[in-house]
Structure 1
C-alpha cells in the first residue's frame, strides 16, 4: 500500500526541515519524562512515509556562544558550557541556574542546547532570506527557559533566539503556542514589546508553570500583545478548533504579523503522560493547516510531549501537512515499528472523558474584547538591517529526491535507540526491559 500521495502542484510550498541525528543520543537520566529520542522516532516516520521527497533537509550548524547569548546571560551560558556531572549534582539542587528537579545536568547538555538553538536560528535565517516558505525544527520549541535559568526541562530558549533573528527582517512576529503548558519563557522575553505578539493555549490551574492567566496581557509598550487562553481538562477537537480559529482570526486581523512561529508541543494530545487534553492528531494538526493556509513565513518547532510514540506520530503528521501530502493511517515499517503497536496506526482516538471547559464563550469574548482595544498596527521604524546570523547549513538531500533511489546514508540514523529509553508500556505489555541502561552510546 502506498504510504503517501504526491503533493498537489497548486499547493506546493518550499519546506525546509532541520535535523541532526545526534539529538537522539542525549539522555536526561533514569525516570525522567523528557526523551530526546522521540525526535529521532519522528524522523524515522518522516523518512519512511516518503515525506523527505518534498523537503529540503538540512543538518543545522550548532548555535555558537554568541548566538545563544543574544538572549541568555553570559554567566548562565558559561555555566552550561563548563558544567558537567563531575561538578554539578545530578539534579542541580541548590544551584543558581538549575533550580529544580525538572532540569538535571546530563552528559552533553551544552551540545544538546546548541543543536536545539542552531535549528531554530537556521530556520529563521532561511525564512529571512525568503529561501523557504515553511521551516521546521522539531529539535526546538523549548519554551520555558528563562534568561538566566533552566525551567520545565528547557535550558536554552531556541524560540526567543529564532524570533530575535526574524525581527531583523520582519516588523511584527506572531508566536503561537499549543503545548499544554503555558509558554512562559517566550511570553516573558517579549512581555514589554509590541513587535512580538505571544498567544498561548494551555491547561491552567494547579499545573506547571502556574502562569498564563487570561488577565496577563503584557505591560508597558507590550500591553495587549500577550494573549493567554487558559483551558481545563478534556477539551476536544471541535471545541479547540472553534476556539483557536476565532482567537487567531482576531489576532491576525488586528496585529497583521509578517511572520509566524508555531510551537507544536505534543503534550496537548490525548494519552499524553503529563497532558490532560483530549485532542487527536487531526485536532492538533488543524493549527498547522490554519497557518499554512495564511501564506505567511512560518516556522514550526517542537516542544513538550511525553508519550514518545505519539510525539513521533504528531510531528510526522504535521510535517505531512506542511508539504500537503496525504499519508496512510498504516505506520510504515521503520526502526521503531514495534513501539506503534498494537494497531500500528498513525492516528489516535479521542477518549470518552468529560470536557470540563464550560465557559469557552466567555473566555473568547474577553480575549476578543482585549484585542479590539489594540491600537492600529504599530509603525515600526526599521533600522538598517543587521547582518544575518552566519549559518553554514549542510544540505543532506536534494528536494524532490527520486523515490526509486535508496535513501542516502546521511539520512539514516545509524544508532537504534537503547531500549532503556522506552517506558515499559511502550514495549508491548509485560516486557521485563526497563530504563536501567542509562547513557546511550554515541553514533
Structure 2
C-alpha cells in the first residue's frame, strides 16, 4: 500500500443536517441548529433534555463548528472508500462522548460515529482505537450490539469522567466480545503503555482482521495535561500512531481531547510527520510566530516524574483477560451482501448515481454492465439477440441433443403458437396405418358390433327406400357369424334378397384408408345402377340376385373395416 495521505483542509464541505441525522435524532440536531447565546433562555427545557449547559456550553457558531468537525471525518472516510488516499487526517474531529440525542464532555456531534458509518458502506469490518485519557463511551454505545465495528479503548477508569469502560463491558447480542476496554490507573508512562498497547492491538488485528481503522488521538493522555492523569511523552504517544500505521490499512486519524494547548499542537504536528513518513527536527526553525513556542522553543513534550500506579501484575492480568475475550469472537466475521450506496452527500439524484455507476463500468470493463447502461442500449427490430433465436423459438427453450434427430410437435396449421392454447391430441399417420390386431379376447365384441352395425344400416336403407320398397322382416339380411379368430368369414356371405340403396360413407370410415376406398367405389357403382332402374320397373330374378350378392359383399367389407377401427380405438382408450 502506498503511503498517500489526505490532511483535510478547512474548506472541506461541512456536514449537513441530513448527514448528521444518520446517527443523531432530528430533534437534537434541530435544537443545535436553532440555539444561540442570545435565545438560549427560551430553550431551558431543551438544554436540560439534551445536556447542553455546563460541560457543553452554547456559543456562537456552535452548529457551524459541528458541521466542520463532522464533515471533515465523513469526507476523510469517503476518500478512503474511494481509494483516494491511504491515511486521512482530521485533527478537528475525535469528539467521542456525544450520544445519539445528548451532548457530553465538550462533544456535541459524534463525528467518529458518522465517519465509521461512512466507512461501513464499503468496508465489512472497522476497528476503532481510542488513546484518549477518557473512555470513548459515545462510540462504544453506538456500536455496542454489532460485530461490524470493534471498539478498543485505553483509558483512566474509576472516579473519573465518564465513569464507564469497565473490563467486563464487552458488548451484547451480536456485538458480544467486540467491545474491548483496558482500564488504566494514573501515571502510566511510555514503556508501560507500549507493553500493553502493541500486544492487544496485534491480537485484535489477528482475530478481527478489519478492513479499515479509525484512530482517535486524544492529547489529554499526554504528560502535563490540565485534565489528564497519564504521563506519556510526545514520542510515547506518537509510538501508538506509528504502530497502527504499520498494518498498512486504510486509516482515519482524528483528534480528540487535550487541554494543554501547546502540548497538543506539538504532538499532533509531530504525529502528522509520522503519518507522512517525515522525521521532524525537535529544534524549531525561526519564523514569525517563533515567540509563541517559548519557553523551550522545541518540538517536544517530555514526561514528568509522576508516579506510575499501574503495577506490572495488574497490567498483565488485564491484558490476559482482554486477549481471552478476543479468542471468543468469530474469526473475521462475515457480512451479508447488500447494495452499496455510491455517494456520501445528501441530495443526489438517481441520475447522479447512474452516472457514477457508468464510471465504475468504464474503470472495470470486465464486470457486468449496470442496469442504467443496459437501459440505454437500443434494440433494433431487424436484429435478434442470441436469446431470441435460441430460447424463444426453439421448442419452448428445449435444445436437441447431439446425434439425435430433431422431433417436432404435431399441431394444426391454424393454431397460434403464442396463444397459450394447448395443442389438441391427434393420431399420427403411423398410428393410423397400424390398427390393433384382433385377438380371441375381443372376438365376441367384434360379433356384437358387426350385428349392431348391420341392423342400423338396414333401418337406414328402409327409411330411404320408402314404404313401397321397405323389406319385410323375412327379408332381413343374415349376418355371417364370427369365426374362432374373431373375424367375419368373408367367404360365408349372408344371402340378401332386397336391393339396398347406396349410403354415404361413415365418418369413422375415414380413419381406415383402405376400407374407405373400397366403400367409395362400391357406393358409386350401386348409385349408378340404381339411377338406371326406373322405380316402377320390376327387375328380373337373376339381376336381383347378383345385385343382392354384390351389396352383401360391400356391407360385409364396410362393417368389417369399421369394426376393426372401433376395436382399435377402444383398445387404446
Unaligned runs of 5+ in 2: 348-573
Structure 2: distance between partners of 1:345 and 1:91 = 46
Measured in 2, the distance between the counterparts of 1:70 and 1:86 equals 29
Aligned to 1:281: 234
Q: CA deviation at 1:372?
A: 1.1
* 1:233-272 deviations in Å (ceiling 9; x for gaps): 1101011011000100111111100000000000000011
Give the match for residue 62 of structure 1: 14
Larger RCO (CA under 8 A, 6+ residues apart) = 1
In structure 1, C-alpha distance between the alignment counterparts of 2:215 and 2:286, rounded to whole Å: 29
1:75 and 1:304 map into 2 onto residues whose CA distance is: 26
2:3 equivalent to 1:13: yes
Q: Secondary structure at the match of 2:40?
A: coil
1:72 to 24, 27, 46: 24
Q: Is 1:155 the equivalent of 2:108?
A: yes
Residue in structure 1 matched with residue 36 of structure 2 by the alignment:
84
Shift of 1:97: 1.2
Which segments of 5 or more consecutive residues in structure 1 lack a partner in the other structure? 1-10, 21-58, 393-443
Q: Is the 8 A contact 1:16 1:135 kept in 2?
A: yes
Matching residue within 237, 250, 261 for 2:190: 237
Asked if residue 130 in structure 1 is aligned to residue 60 in structure 2, the reply is no
Residue equivalent to 1:109: 62
Pair 1:228–1:334, CA change in 2 (3 A)? farther
SS in 2 for 1:95: helix
Matched, 1:189 2:142: yes
Q: Does 1:372 align with 2:327?
A: yes
User: Could you say what secondary structure the match of 2:225 adopts?
Assistant: coil
TM-score, length of structure 2 as denominator length? 0.58
* Separation in 1, partners of 2:289, 2:26: 39
The alignment partner of 2:49 has SS state of: coil
> In the alignment, what sits opposite 1:253?
206
Q: Relative to structure 1, is the Cα distance of residues 198 and 92 closer, same or farther in structure 2, using a 3 angstrom cutoff?
A: farther
Partner residue in 2 for 1:424: none
Q: Give the Cα separation in 2 of the matches to 1:113 and 1:374.
A: 35
Mapped partners of 1:76, 1:335: distance in 2: 43
8 Å Cα contact 1:165/1:388 also seen in 2: no
Question: 1:15, 1:387 → 2: CA distance?
Answer: 22
Structure 1 residues 327 and 230, CA gap change in structure 2 (3 angstroms): same
Q: CA deviation digits over 1:390-417, x for unaligned, max 9?
A: 399xxxxxxxxxxxxxxxxxxxxxxxxx
Q: TM-score, length-normalised on structure 1?
A: 0.75
2:284 pairs with 1:331? yes
1:12–1:323 contact (8 Å) kept in structure 2 = no
Higher Cα Rg, which structure = 2
Deviation at 1:92, TM superposition (A): 6.7
1:387 aligns with 2:342: yes
Please give the alpha-carbon distance, in whole angstroms, between the structure 1 residues aligned to 2:24 and 2:343.
19
Paired residues, number: 344
Between the aligned partners of 2:317 and 2:43, the Cα distance in structure 1 is 42
State the Cα RMSD in Å. 1.8
Rate the CA distance shift 1:164–1:108 in 2: closer, same or farther, 3 A: same
What is the alpha-carbon distance in structure 1 between the residues aligned to residue 323 and residue 85 of structure 2? Answer: 32
Cα deviations by residue, 1:46-97 (Å, 9 ceiling, x for unpaired): xxxxxxxxxxxxx210001111000000000000011111221499785211
**Aligned with residue 133 of structure 2, among 180, 199, 203:** 180
